[in-house]
Homo-oligomer: A and B are copies of this chain.
Amino acid sequence: MKNSIGTSVILTLAGESHGSMLCAILDGLAPGIPVDEQFIASRLALRRPKGPADTARREKDAFSIVSGVFEGRTTGAPITILIPNEDVRSADYERTHALARPSHADYAAHIKYGGCEDWRGGGHFSGRVTAGIVAAGAIAAAALEAKGISIGTHILECAGVKDTPFNPTDTSEQVRSLQGMDFPVLSPVREAMEERILAAKGELDSVGGIVQTAVCGLPAGVGEPWFSSVEGVLANALFSIGGIKGVEFGSGFALASMKGSQANDAYSVSGGKVLTKTNHSGGVNGGISNGMPLIFSAVVKPTPSIARPQDSVDMNTGEAAQLTITGRHDPAIVRRVCIVVSSLVAIVLCDLLALRFGTDYLK
């Protein structure tokens, strides 16, 4: 599939940065799930650029749901969400659109689409398209919450400043604390992070970071051993989010320098419940959820749009060229990525749960 993800619960994304609107279709969600437009709006607000540390583009995200919801609840039919684009300034792109922006999709897209791609604002590759993920994900996240499954994402690291990681074996309070937070961190590092982001912006530069997600309440026994592992399905989803270049579960890359005796999660039984004492596995063994918190991190590269002159190529002539990107850009997207990740994860988990327990599971 292209621009679609899922088997039983399926998200399809369409739209371009500077087109008239974005479209997200969320199909296969159980019927009867309450749809709270205010909650959706509040999640979109978390993704929206806000202060000097974000792009100057200002979108109202005045979405409308035009199908699949009736009398305030899902019907079981596909849910179509439209999000108009309003604050569009294509002129920024007109002069230079033949010049491939380094570490953007421009050149790869040019080869793939033969020059027919919509280059205005990055077109279908734009982070703007993630607004559809957030809107659709809000419905999914609310449905999961109603079943006791909570998702939270925070900025684990940004521009060298580190937040406290999730407590691997007990995340529920931390996850709760992140709900509705527009600069989601678990310790008082916001100021330091914002300072560094603005410093980079001042240097016409940008910064990256790491986001970390925890899911609590996910039942054990979800996922498949080969090729639909919880890790694989989530990673496939996450790598679609612009700028994500690495995904790790549990202790992730740190496992490379651990011994088995350190890395293994010993079992304990508490109140009849099977737990593990540590959670280096991130809640997944053999591709299948084990009932412990699902924990993973994703690295977000620094925004490639920087205002310094860069070596480029003119895609029309094939010749080397110098490019200075103008336009409005985020010096860091890591804050805004958090809600996108949580939203996309909500949709993927709805899919895994529906496959495992049937389409009415979230009803």
Contact = CB atoms under 8 A, between A and B. Distances in A.
A286 B358 contact: no
Given A27-B4, A229-B239, A108 B208 contact: no
A310 B264 contact: yes
A225 B260 contact: no
Interface string A334-349: 0000000000000000
A75 B246 contact: no
A242 interface: yes
A202 interface: no
Contacts of A13: 78, 226-227
A263 to B, nearest CB: 5
Q: For A25, A100, A220, A301, which residue has the most chain B Cβ atoms within 10 angstroms? A: A301
Interface in A245-281: 245-253, 255-269, 272, 274, 276-277, 280-281
Given A224-B3, A289-B108, A252 B259 contact: no
A79 B116 CA distance: 13
Given A78-B14, A105-B225, A265-B103, A260 B114 contact: no
Interface stretch (A40-48, A62-70, A136-144, A175-183): A62-70
A139 to B, nearest CB: 14
Given A245-B282, A269-B318, 11 more contacts: A2-B228, A14-B78, A21-B66, A66-B82, A105-B285, A105-B288, A205-B259, A208-B260, A232-B237, A246-B246, A260-B303
Nearest to A70: B118
Nearest to A323: B267
A192 interface: no
Given A16-B67, A226-B13, A253-B253, A105 B233 contact: no
8 closest A-B pairs by beta carbon, nearest first, are A105-B286, A246-B248, A206-B260, A358-B358, A31-B116, A232-B239, A108-B288, A77-B124
Contacts of A266: 102, 310-312
B66 A102 contact: no
Contact of A116 (B74, B246, B301): B74
Nearest to A269: B320
Nearest to A303: B260
B111 A220 contact: yes
A49 interface: no
Interface string A88-129: 000000000000101111111101111011100001110001
Contact of A248 (B231, B291, B299): B299
